[in-house]
């Protein structure tokens, strides 16, 4: 019998996440409590494409190293997980409207960086799906369309960052430096809104959350949470905080929805 999977929203970190013992330890503990899915569907902040588009189902498609300015070792990371053609077909049948496939699109760092920590053996089939919009309500509805995949053993993962303002990122101050007040305020609001299942407030975050425009000058890193919320039908299900704290001023808060 296929086990129903939870839904995750995680803050994925930049490639140097792999060198942060605190954060990787949190992810490893999180992974130890997850059952093995039959497949993984990643929704990353780093792929926007309309209409809905899925990644390659050709084995050994190279990763997308969609960053710059980092040491060479980060461009040599591999994550050669099995492909998921059947999952791609299922998504085409669930989503309202056309679903394209990009045969040359591998996993970007919003997908593979956390997967290296959560599923290091790279033995679970993975597919990535694009963000077709940044509209919270539209993404929530996309998540609801994808929700049946959970009962088929698919782990749906929204991968973004709970706060994401790169002006706050100051490597010289260290990963554990005190976060800016705006980051703290938004993180606190998000924690309360998710804990209470207040979907209306979360969808209207731009008007209801403190420091919303500071925490997310552009909203692509917050957007994946709406797919997760929709897939989790969050108003009726509990959320557990699986990771919290800050990394170079950015909130790395992450949730698991039952």
In this model, does residue 136 exceed pLDDT 70?
A: yes
Lowest-confidence range among 94-108, 143-157, 165-179? Answer: 165-179
pTM, to two decimals: 0.95
For residue 185, what is the domain's CATH number? 3.40.830.10
Report the candidate in 87, 199, 100 with the shortest Cα–Cα distance to residue 150: 87
Number of domains within the chain: 1
Lowest-confidence range among 68-72, 101-105, 132-136, 217-221? Answer: 68-72
**Domain-located, residue 58:** yes
**Domain-located, residue 38:** yes
3-class secondary structure, 71: coil
* Helices marked H in the chain: 21-32, 85-94, 109-118, 136-146, 181-195, 199-203, 205-208, 212-215, 224-232
Q: Residues 23-79: pLDDT tens digits? A: 999 999 999 999 999 999 999 999 999 999 999 999 999 999 999 888 899 999 999
Rounded Cα distance, 31 and 28, in Å: 5
Contact assessment for residue 140 and residue 233, using Cβ atoms and an 8 Å cutoff: no
**Domain-located, residue 101:** yes
**Domain-located, residue 1:** no
* Helices marked H in 17-64: 21-32
Rounded Cα distance, 255 and 241, in Å: 5
């Amino acid at each position: 019998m296929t086990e129903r999977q939870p839904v995750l929203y995680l803050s994925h970190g930049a490639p140097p996440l792999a060198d942060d013992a605190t954060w990787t330890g949190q992810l490893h503990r999180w992974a130890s409590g997850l059952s093995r899915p039959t497949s993984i569907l990643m929704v990353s902040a780093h792929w926007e494409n309309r209409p809905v588009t899925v990644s390659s189902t050709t084995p050994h498609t190279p990763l997308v190293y969609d960053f710059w300015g980092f040491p060479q070792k980060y461009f040599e990371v591999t994550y050669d997980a099995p492909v998921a053609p059947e999952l791609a077909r299922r998504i085409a049948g669930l989503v309202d409207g056309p679903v394209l496939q990009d045969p040359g699109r591998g996993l970007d760092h919003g997908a593979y960086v956390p997967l290296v920590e959560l599923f290091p053996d790279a033995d679970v089939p993975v597919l990535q799906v694009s963000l077709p919009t940044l509209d919270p309500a539209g993404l929530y509805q996309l998540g609801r369309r994808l929700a049946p995949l959970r009962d088929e053993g698919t782990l749906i993962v929204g991968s973004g960052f709970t706060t994401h303002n790169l002006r706050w990122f100051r490597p010289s101050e260290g990963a554990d430096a005190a976060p800016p007040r705006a980051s703290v305020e938004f993180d606190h609001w998000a924690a309360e809104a998710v804990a209470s299942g207040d979907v209306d407030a979360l969808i209207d975050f731009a008007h209801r959350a403190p420091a919303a425009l500071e925490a997310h000058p552009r909203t692509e890193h917050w957007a994946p949470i709406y797919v997760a919320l929709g897939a989790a039908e969050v108003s009726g299900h509990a959320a557990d905080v699986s990771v919290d704290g800050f990394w170079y001023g950015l909130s790395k808060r992450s949730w698991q929805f039952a």
